Chain A
Amino acid sequence: MKKIFKAIIPDWEGRKLPAAFPFHIRLVLRCSVLIAWFFALKKYGKTFSMLSQEKRVELMDYLYNHPSASIRNMVQWWKLTALMLQC
């Protein structure tokens, strides 16, 4: 999660997912990392963790403007969560 948040907001320094988030929401958020993983493999042939910070930001920008509304929605959700955990 942290790597995704850092790709969305460079220099992101935030907290962990709070206990105030219901368990199932924390679970879905954690599992959603697989989306970034999948696209990292598809686009660069590497896992998201193996990408350089520059490539991660590039991938996140690609997903932010992805033709699929569901993917764009997911990036918006990550972004909102990242900003909230940082505030």
Chain B
Amino acid sequence: MLNDNLKHNVEDEADFVIVGSGAAGATCAYYLSAAGKSVIVIEEGAPPQPAPGDAYEAITTLYRDGGASATMGEDVIPLIQGRCVGGTTVINGAIQVRFPEWVWKDWVKEDKKWETLLPWKQLEEAQDAIDKLLHVEPTPESLWGGNGGNLKKGLGDKAHPTRRNTIDCKGSGRCLQGCPHHAKQSVDISLLPQSMKNGARIYSSCEVRKVIIKGNRALGVEGKFKSGFKITARAKQAVIIAASAIQTPWLLLKSGIQLNGNGFQCHPGVAMSGLFPQKIAGMPEATQSMESLHWCKENIKFESLGMPRAFRAARVPGVGKKLADRLEKLDHVAIWGVANKSEARGKVVCGPFGPLVHYAPTNKDRAAMLRGLSLLAEAMLDAGATEVWPAVYGSPEKITSKEQARAIAFIKPQPGLFPMAATHLFCGVQVREKFQINNVNGLVIADSSLFPSNIGVNPMTAIMAAASLVAKAWL
């Protein structure tokens, strides 16, 4: 049952109270309700309306803070998070990459507990189950489009079609504004309806303000609907926090819980555009149809970005007339991105208006991104681009030769080199047995806040697999 923005106070009780309805929260709700447990899910955002018509409407209704939140540091990096029933799964590119085993091995090398908490074999099985549940398949060639097709051309065997969670994708390239055809299997249309059939109760447009703790036990949560009415939800077994790598530590800090480990990480991303003689836009294309994991160990991953005009325009460099001229050619512009498994660690703290994320990539991270941009520029020229617009401070405005492309990698790394966006958030909050935090019994973390490091790839599969092991630990 979905209860949106109720106009009366609510007192409810269930075996489990889950805060957040994104990838982690929905997965926990799915597995716990399927096992016959009573479940309450509380979500700050509203249910997504029939796919918003334009990008502005989508950003202001589905994105946290209208897409305006950002990190605080030497670089101001926009933080991309969904705030709606289904969380960020509603506005991501539908990409499902398997959790890299080498990252898991690094975790185990650092702390043996991960062998017990997230055993590799069980993680693999959980990922298989998620792939099946969400119909994960490689993007068909008919949906590679101009961006993906040219990335394949430029990188050859080093690029492959992304595995995406879609059924009958039309290639409208509108994943980032909520799929208009409900083809993307975001959890609001896949796992949550099934959980509701199993008896889960969802309260949306309701912000959880506090975890209720008595002695050393979590009893439930208190929250407030947008309407101003309050909710008190009590948990007989556990309170599961799955509110994202920013909101989870923030809620815990607000509730007076001291965090062991608060090392915010993300994958800062930077995009590069190139002008092609042939038309790039206009044909059916999945938002992110092609990717390359070939340079993963160098901490960089490449993706093609096929999006509506409004989103693509933000990746085109320059201001004034230069920008206007380039925007006129936008239909011939391919846009590819570099995501960086950055080594930098930041911190989530309580600010006067909400959570603040202190974070700045290191120069090593910037150097990795420069190397990525350099490789992409070369690949763009190989794919037939007539000119590449790197948008990197200190590089030529347009690049037409491979020498110029290679030179990008040797630009001195420093703050403010290129505009970035931060996706895929992690926090490294320490958990103990059954994913409980500190010495508070029955207070469980299920989202990427518990990941001790970033994982270098799109984390939806990893988050859902980990969340399913969290749920199973409580069955």
Whole-angstrom CA separation of A20 from B82 in the bound complex: 13
- Whether A87 contacts B393 in the complex (CB less than 8 A), given A8-B323, A57-B321, A73-B76, comes out as no
B40-60: which residues lie under 8 A (CB-CB) from chain A?
A: 54-56, 59-60
* Closest-CB distance, B137 to chain A (whole angstroms): 30
Residues of B within 8 A of A51 (CB): none
Residues of B within 8 A of A44 (CB): none
Is B74 in contact with A79, judged by CB distance below 8 angstroms?
no
Is B310 in contact with A75, judged by CB distance below 8 angstroms?
no
- Whether A87 contacts B320 in the complex (CB less than 8 A), given A21-B68, A25-B65, comes out as no
A52 at the interface (CB under 8 A from B): no
B78 at the interface (CB under 8 A from A): yes
Q: CB within 8 A of B321: which of A10, A18, A85? A: A10
Which range holds the interface residue count of chain B? 35 or more
Whole-angstrom CA separation of A49 from B44 in the bound complex: 41
Residues of A within 8 A of B309 (CB): 87
Is B416 in contact with A73, judged by CB distance below 8 angstroms?
yes
Is B68 in contact with A25, judged by CB distance below 8 angstroms?
yes
Q: CB within 8 A of B318: which of A15, A64, A77? A: A64
B319 at the interface (CB under 8 A from A): yes
Whole-angstrom CA separation of A65 from B310 in the bound complex: 23
* Closest-CB distance, B53 to chain A (whole angstroms): 11
Is A69 in contact with B414, judged by CB distance below 8 angstroms?
yes
> Which residue of chain B has its CB nearest to the CB of A29?
B68
A41-69: which residues lie under 8 A (CB-CB) from chain B?
A: 57-58, 60-61, 64-65, 68-69
B67 at the interface (CB under 8 A from A): yes
Apart from A7-B319, A25-B65, 11 more pairs, CB < 8 Å = A9-B323, A9-B327, A18-B66, A57-B319, A65-B393, A69-B415, A76-B76, A83-B310, A84-B59, A84-B67, A85-B56
B140 at the interface (CB under 8 A from A): no
B34 at the interface (CB under 8 A from A): no
Residues of B within 8 A of A7 (CB): 319-320
Whole-angstrom CA separation of A86 from B69 in the bound complex: 19
Whole-angstrom CA separation of A22 from B323 in the bound complex: 28
Closest 7 CB pairs of A and B: A69-B416, A87-B310, A20-B66, A57-B320, A20-B60, A69-B415, A87-B55
Is A87 in contact with B313, judged by CB distance below 8 angstroms?
yes
Kindly count the residue-residue contacts between A and B in the assembled complex, taking CB atoms under 8 Å apart: 95
* Closest-CB distance, A13 to chain B (whole angstroms): 13
Whole-angstrom CA separation of A70 from B76 in the bound complex: 8
* Closest-CB distance, A38 to chain B (whole angstroms): 18
Is B416 in contact with A72, judged by CB distance below 8 angstroms?
yes
* Closest-CB distance, B356 to chain A (whole angstroms): 11
* Closest-CB distance, A31 to chain B (whole angstroms): 15
- Whether A10 contacts B313 in the complex (CB less than 8 A), given A20-B61, A73-B76, A77-B76, comes out as no
Whole-angstrom CA separation of A23 from B311 in the bound complex: 24
Is B68 in contact with A22, judged by CB distance below 8 angstroms?
yes
> Which residue of chain B has its CB nearest to the CB of A26?
B68
Is B419 in contact with A69, judged by CB distance below 8 angstroms?
no
Whole-angstrom CA separation of A79 from B76 in the bound complex: 13
> Which residue of chain B has its CB nearest to the CB of A73?
B76
* Chain B 298-314 interface 0/1 with A at a Cβ cutoff of 8 Å (1 = within): 00000000000111011
Q: Which residues of B contact A (CB under 8 A)?
A: 54-56, 59-61, 63, 65-70, 74-76, 78, 309-311, 313-314, 318-324, 327, 352-354, 393, 414-417, 419
> Which residue of chain B has its CB nearest to the CB of A57?
B320
Residues of A within 8 A of B313 (CB): 83, 87
Is A10 in contact with B320, judged by CB distance below 8 angstroms?
yes
Whole-angstrom CA separation of A78 from B70 in the bound complex: 13
> Which residue of chain B has its CB nearest to the CB of A75?
B319
- Whether A21 contacts B319 in the complex (CB less than 8 A), given A10-B324, A70-B416, comes out as no
6 contacts between A and B (CB under 8 A): A24-B352, A61-B319, A69-B417, A72-B393, A83-B314, A87-B309
Residues of B within 8 A of A24 (CB): 352-353
A35 at the interface (CB under 8 A from B): no
> Which residue of chain A has its CB nearest to the CB of B324?
A10
Is A79 in contact with B319, judged by CB distance below 8 angstroms?
yes
Whole-angstrom CA separation of A6 from B67 in the bound complex: 21
> Which residue of chain A has its CB nearest to the CB of B417?
A69
Residues of A within 8 A of B352 (CB): 24
Whole-angstrom CA separation of A79 from B70 in the bound complex: 15
Residues of B within 8 A of A22 (CB): 65, 68-69, 353-354
A80 at the interface (CB under 8 A from B): yes
